[in-house]
């Protein structure tokens, strides 16, 4: 592999392939299983050759005004309800804020509890006791600061948002499959019982 095929792909390249796969899913060119499999391979791809292999059997995307397949009216909500260009509806700041809340909220809740316990015991003893909650808040807070910095630098909020979106799509697909199976099964009450 020489030339472009052997070059390392960037996150933006993987996102572009993921977006194309989402379009193919919406067009019905891929079923949900194929889409999920290719999407996982897209995010694991290291080179352009690995990314290109995921799109070889898909036609290029034509702008809507040049496509003969483009709907005349606005399309109805598709299989990726709640997503715009493959990203969750929440803006990037919303994704980051949600991740920060998930990381820091347990810490803040526990610190509020231990400080309350310290304050109540200080009031009951009528003396200002040693502030022992610092031994809980300090080390745990330092660990969370390191986790926050490394998570933000490594794009952890975006990865978690993508994983959440995948889980939602899988759950929706399972619900649809169950609905289809139920719709395809005859109702036992409708079938005549054999005389016997």
135-162: pLDDT as tens digits: 999 999 999 999 999 988 888 888 888 8
Instruction: Give the pair of three-digit tokens for residue 171.
Output: 């759950």
Sketch the domain layout of the chain as residue ranges: 1-79, 83-185
- Answering whether pTM is above 0.85, one says no
Nearest Cα residue to 158 out of 82, 98, 78: 98
DSSP assignment string, 109-171: HHHHHHHHHHHHHHHHHTS----THHHHHHHHHHHHHHHHHHHHHTTHHHHHHHHHHHHHHHH
Predicted confidence pLDDT, tens digits, the chain (196 residues): 567 788 888 888 888 888 888 888 888 888 888 888 888 898 898 998 898 898 888 887 655 555 444 444 434 444 334 444 444 444 556 888 888 888 999 999 999 999 999 999 999 999 889 999 999 999 999 999 999 999 888 888 888 888 888 888 889 888 888 888 888 776 555 566 666 5
Residue where the block lists tokens 């390249």: 13
């Amino acid at each position: 592999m020489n030339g472009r095929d052997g070059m390392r792909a960037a996150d933006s390249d993987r996102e572009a392939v993921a977006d194309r796969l989402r379009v193919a899913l919406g067009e019905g060119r891929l079923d949900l299983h194929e889409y999920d499999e290719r999407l996982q391979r897209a995010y694991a791809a290291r080179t352009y050759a690995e990314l290109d292999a995921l799109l070889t059997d898909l036609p290029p995307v034509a702008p809507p005004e040049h496509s003969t397949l483009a709907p005349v009216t606005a399309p109805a909500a598709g299989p990726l309800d709640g997503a715009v260009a493959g990203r969750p509806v929440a803006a990037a700041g919303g994704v980051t804020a949600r991740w920060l809340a998930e990381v820091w909220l347990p810490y803040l809740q526990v610190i509020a509890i231990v400080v309350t316990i310290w304050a109540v015991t200080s009031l009951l003893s009528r003396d200002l006791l040693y502030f022992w909650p610092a031994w809980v808040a300090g080390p745990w807070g330092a660990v969370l600061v390191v986790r926050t910095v490394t998570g933000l630098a490594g794009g952890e909020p975006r990865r978690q948002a993508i994983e959440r979106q995948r889980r939602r799509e899988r759950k929706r697909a399972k619900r649809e499959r169950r609905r289809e199976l139920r719709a395809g099964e005859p109702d036992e009450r409708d079938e005549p019982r054999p005389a016997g």
